Amino acid sequence: MPVYSNDISTLKKIAVVPARASVRGGKMYTVGNLLFQVEQDSGIHVLNYANPSNPQILGFIKSLLCREISVQNGFIYTNNLSDLVVIDAGNWANVHEAGRVAGVFPDLVNPFPEKPGPNVKVYFECPDSKKGAVVGWTKQIISNPKCWR
């Protein structure tokens, strides 16, 4: 079953929060002594590895539904929900959203539940954009599901 949220202003808020454990780690990107790792669907881990034997975890940049990143000249380019966002990370004490283009990735607004394996079908309640943005999934028994993948 999809979990919805209608609090779009909170969902679109880009913020630096304390470091957290990686649960669904994704691609990594390095620039200088910084390593950025996507945490699928929730944000970006940031580490300083100037001393490779003792890397420092700087924090976590929240960006809901984050899937990919690119970094250039202190700016992080990623997605937040269906929007393309530019995050100014040139000064770690003042990381902030520098720009946003709405609706660039419309397919990311209502993501589908993860499949447990390549040959396994997953049945689920079809996402309904009228109920809000899908921010997660819960396992429940549902009768007569209309969607699968």
Residue-by-residue DSSP string for 17-83: E-----SSEEEEEEETTEEEEEETTTEEEEEE-SSTTS-EEEEEEE-TT---EEEETTEEEEEETTE
Averaged pLDDT score across all residues of the chain = 92
The predicted model gives 63-84 an average pLDDT of: 93
Backbone angles phi, psi at 141, to 5 degrees: -85, 125
Distance CA 121, CA 135 (A): 21
Q: Is residue 74 part of a domain?
A: yes
As given in the structure block, the two tokens for residue 5 are 């949220």
93: pLDDT confidence band, cut at 50, 70 and 90?
confident
Identify whether 22 is part of a domain: yes
C-beta separation of 84 from 104 below 8 A:
yes
In a domain, 116, yes or no: no
136 located within any domain: no
Q: Which residue segment(s) compose the domain that 73 sits in?
A: 7-105
Q: What is the dihedral of CA 137, 140, 145, 147, to 10 degrees?
A: 20
Answer yes or no: is 25 within a domain. yes
pTM: 0.83
More confident residue, 116 or 85: 85
Is 115 within a domain? no
Backbone angles phi, psi at 65, to 5 degrees: 70, 15
Count: domains in the chain = 1
Per-residue tokens: 91: 């000064």
Instruction: Find tokens 């990594």 and name the residue.
Output: 28
Q: Look at residue 40 and tell me if it is in a domain.
A: yes
Percentage of the chain beyond pLDDT 70 is 99
Domain-embedded: residue 72? yes
CATH code (residue 25): 2.40.128
